[in-house]
Structure 1
Amino acid sequence: MSATSWPEARRIARQAGTPLDPVDVPLPAALGATLAEPLVALSPLPAYDAAAMDGYAVAGTGPWQVLGRILAGDARPVEPLGPGSAMEIATGALVPSGVDAVLPYERARFRGDQVHGEIESGRHIRRRGDDCPLGAEVLPAGTLVTPTLLGLAASLGHDRLAVHRRPRVGVVVTGAELLSAGLPSPGRVRDAISPMLPGLVRSAGGEIAWTTRVTDDLTALVEAMRRADADVIVVCGATSVGAADHLRGALETVAARVRVHGVACRPGHPQLLATMPDGRCVVGLPGNPYAALVAALTLLAPLLGRLAGRSERRPVTARLVGPVKVLDRDTRLVPVARDGSAVVPVGHDRPGLLWGAAEANALAVVPPGWQGDEVELLALPDADTAVAAMVRLATDGPTTPDSVERAPRGVAEPPGGALRLPDRLPLATATVAEG
């Protein structure tokens, strides 16, 4: 079976699932999820006629007699002002009916007990609904819930939001040679893939439900894949055709339909995407760490973004400068860093090495036969995203009772239209591209 082209693999991954059911959650719990319904104004903005400056709310033409004071938060009823009357007023305070303008302190002059000054009708008053009318659709479904969106939702009167449930990801780490702590030794290497997965998964819209480690055993792998407490199963390693690579056999055993059987890209060629009979997906990541990162951005990120209900984003592009080896048939994924309005390769990009990717802001997508055109960028999750995912795992715990499964057979006990890149926008501010 021939390998799928990189763009086609991304398209297939994006279409492999459908958005998960909506859940109604308090505002803080919605952060990082995706709106399942449009964000609608439950209250107009402003909710009432409000003073935009500290000064005097005046009615009619001056001079004006000051009758009292209104402070922000003062809920006492205020009588309408008649011509020639004024109320001292604070920014944000309710403007009484009959007021023509707010005269700022710095433009007010007193003569005796009357205030004088020049006004412009309607000046320094934010009228009810000026910024946003009641019932307006402010943001569409599919919008990522950011801290700013939470503030907007609160200002519009929301206490809760309907968001798509985050897809739960079960992680199966394969390989008898893997160590989860300590120094590598002859025949043993550190697991470098599972430490980076929480941040990658979180950035793409999902959350790790559980992690289990299995040795190179077909039956143990099948048992792990049959767990029903995850929406997506990610298998790390075992994607090639060696004697210890059992993922293809396990997929056949569970009657899964393989939709991507290798991708024409370097690194990351032996990656897989399959759908099980119950509709859940399996993503196979190569065992080499940088190849696994490429596969996660190629197949896992768009799949999770779709399940999480995220809208497909237009690609970000930039000019790539510097020496790049171009392949005739395969797409290359190259770690790059920003240099002015362009990006440059950082090197250190062998399949088993994460050095270059750790220095980079993004991976540049270099198509076969590339001749110097702008290239698409896959932004890498920043440190804040990764830390948030790790903290969530540490504090909230797993979504299932056995975050790290202790299976009896073959399981090793764990020890514990394109947008061009803006000249001044750091690549790290973007999220993992999804579509």
Structure 2
Amino acid sequence: MIEHGPGMPWAVAHATAGDLARPLPAERTTPDAAIGRILAVPLRAAVAVPAFDTAAMDGYAITGPGPWRVVGRRLAGPGEPVDPLLGGTAIEIGTGAAVPPTTEAVLPYEDSTRHGDLVSGEPRRPHIRRTGEDLRPGDLLADAGRPVTATMAAAAVQAGVEELHTHRPPAVTLFVTGDEVITSGQPGPGQVRDSFTGLVSAVTARAGGHLLRSTRLPDDPAALADALGRPGAEVVVVSGSSSAGAADHLHRVLTALDATWHVRGVACRPGHPQGLAELPGGRWVVSLPGNPYAGLVAALTLLEPLLAALAGRAAAPPVTAVVTGEARLYAAGVRIVPVTGTRIRPGARPGSLHTAAAADSLAVLSAAWRSGDPAPRLVLP
């Protein structure tokens, strides 16, 4: 028997999706492959930075009082070990090159005067980066739970880190149900194009997961049960088949599979028939209503926070901002409307995406909302 009623409050459903799942286990990756993932353990330096005493300017490595007699030249890059400098001597040196032992300072070209092999000048600063002055082995680069940015990955490489431990990104399988759905070409009478695959792929990627595959299924409970029963991705998304019509089989199939419902309907318009269930063994099922705009609402309400939690991302409530304009409010829950800037875009309907396509976010309006009040905002993918 399918349960009917107003459904779970929207804010509770959104929070539930983010609170239920635990981050997936850690795996080792190279720094570049870790970009976009979440650190599972603290990131620490493996070597000193700098790894050797190095010149911070182009000029002359000097020691003792001047003027100094130039006895050699050294540029950045590997080379033979350099003998210690004797008092009153110098070598011409390039930025990034290892300074000889006993070097007291690097005299920049612009602060120096050279005549033949003699150079003179007044060093204003040492201009030497000493071994380990930025990092020493074991120093903390980033705490667990931080997202790996390109800058962090580059810093890890600089600090000699060859492997990072990050949470495995959750894999998603999408089943697009409906005899009327086609995946290519112009739809004919009684047909509609699949508009879910691109949306689910984008939401999944933004939350830190990846879409393994999208498969169209007919309105057949046996086909749906067979698809849900196969092992595979951590998260299964089903578009359509979520309501109470003759072609809506998902609730009955999940009941037969002994699934546990965590969200079974949400008190919102559009998107009321959405749901979140857990199969025996721990795989998650997210139910998206078949109407595209309603399905988009459900993807942002349940799918994105669930995937973010599995990816190890810290839960965060939606950003709240002022919303202006007119909306037909929903007395039993929230109305979710497209917004550009602060202004509501009129004309949104559950089955159409064109109004949302011209917006930059969706605003979640309570029954008590009035124009100019703040409301939670969901950024559109």
What's the counterpart of residue 378 of structure 1?
A: 378
Is the Cα contact below 8 Å between 1:329 and 1:369 reproduced in 2?
Answer: no
Q: 2: distance between equivalents of 1:70 and 1:81?
A: 13
| Secondary structure of the structure 1 residue equivalent to 2:196 | coil
- Pick one of 284, 292, 297 that aligns with 1:294: 297
- 1:299 deviates by 0.6
Are 1:345 and 2:351 counterparts? Answer: no
- Pick one of 42, 50, 70 that aligns with 2:46: 42
Matches within 5 A, 1:191-340: 191-313=194-316, 315-338=318-341
Are 1:182 and 2:185 counterparts? Answer: yes
Q: Any idea what the Cα deviations from partners look like across 1:149-168, whole Å, max 9, x if unmatched? A: 32222112122222222212
- 1:261 deviates by 1.1
Q: Are the structure 2 counterparts of residues 98 and 197 from structure 1 closer, same or farther at C-alpha, using a change threshold of 3 Å?
A: same
Q: 1: distance between equivalents of 2:94 and 2:37?
A: 38
Are 1:146 and 2:135 counterparts? Answer: no
What's the counterpart of residue 10 of structure 1?
A: 14
Q: Any idea what the Cα deviations from partners look like across 1:257-279, whole Å, max 9, x if unmatched? A: 11111112222121000111212
Is the Cα contact below 8 Å between 2:276 and 2:302 reproduced in 1?
Answer: yes
Is the Cα contact below 8 Å between 1:33 and 1:144 reproduced in 2?
Answer: yes
| Secondary structure of the structure 2 residue equivalent to 1:283 | strand
- 1:303 deviates by 0.8
- Code of the residue aligned with 2:360 in structure 1: it is N
- Pick one of 80, 83, 97 that aligns with 2:84: 80
- TM-score norm. by structure 1 comes to 0.80
Is the Cα contact below 8 Å between 2:57 and 2:108 reproduced in 1?
Answer: yes
- Pick one of 20, 28, 35 that aligns with 1:31: 35
Q: 2: distance between equivalents of 1:22 and 1:99?
A: 46
- 1:234 deviates by 0.6
Q: Which moved more, 1:91-100 or 1:319-328?
A: 319-328
- Pick one of 100, 104, 107 that aligns with 1:103: 107
How many residue pairs get aligned? The number is 376
Q: Are the structure 2 counterparts of residues 57 and 169 from structure 1 closer, same or farther at C-alpha, using a change threshold of 3 Å?
A: same
Q: 2: distance between equivalents of 1:252 and 1:53?
A: 71
What's the counterpart of residue 358 of structure 1?
A: 357
- 1:289 deviates by 1.0
- Pick one of 46, 57, 74 that aligns with 1:53: 57
- 1:254 deviates by 0.6
Q: Any idea what the Cα deviations from partners look like across 1:14-42, whole Å, max 9, x if unmatched? A: 12221112222233432332222211111
- Code of the residue aligned with 1:237 in structure 2: it is G
- 1:315 deviates by 4.4
| Secondary structure of the structure 1 residue equivalent to 2:198 | coil
Q: 2: distance between equivalents of 1:310 and 1:223?
A: 32
Q: Are the structure 2 counterparts of residues 239 and 44 from structure 1 closer, same or farther at C-alpha, using a change threshold of 3 Å?
A: same
- Pick one of 91, 95, 101 that aligns with 2:95: 91
Q: Which moved more, 1:185-194 or 1:359-368?
A: 359-368
RMSD over aligned Cα atoms? 2.1
- Pick one of 124, 131, 134 that aligns with 2:134: 131
Are 1:66 and 2:65 counterparts? Answer: no
| Secondary structure of the structure 2 residue equivalent to 1:224 | helix
Q: 2: distance between equivalents of 1:42 and 1:315?
A: 38
Q: Which moved more, 1:26-35 or 1:211-220?
A: 26-35
Is the Cα contact below 8 Å between 2:111 and 2:123 reproduced in 1?
Answer: no
- TM-score norm. by structure 2 comes to 0.91
Is the Cα contact below 8 Å between 1:142 and 1:309 reproduced in 2?
Answer: yes
Query: How high is the sequence identity, in percent, across the aligned residues?
Result: 47
- Pick one of 145, 160, 164 that aligns with 1:161: 164
Q: Which moved more, 1:319-328 or 1:171-180?
A: 319-328
Q: 2: distance between equivalents of 1:133 and 1:324?
A: 58
Q: Any idea what the Cα deviations from partners look like across 1:128-179, whole Å, max 9, x if unmatched? A: 2232332112112222233223222211212222222221212111111111
- Code of the residue aligned with 1:137 in structure 2: it is L
Q: 2: distance between equivalents of 1:318 and 1:89?
A: 56
Structure 1: stretches of 5+ with no match in the other structure? 382-435
| Secondary structure of the structure 1 residue equivalent to 2:33 | helix
Is the Cα contact below 8 Å between 1:6 and 1:264 reproduced in 2?
Answer: yes
Is the Cα contact below 8 Å between 1:100 and 1:121 reproduced in 2?
Answer: no
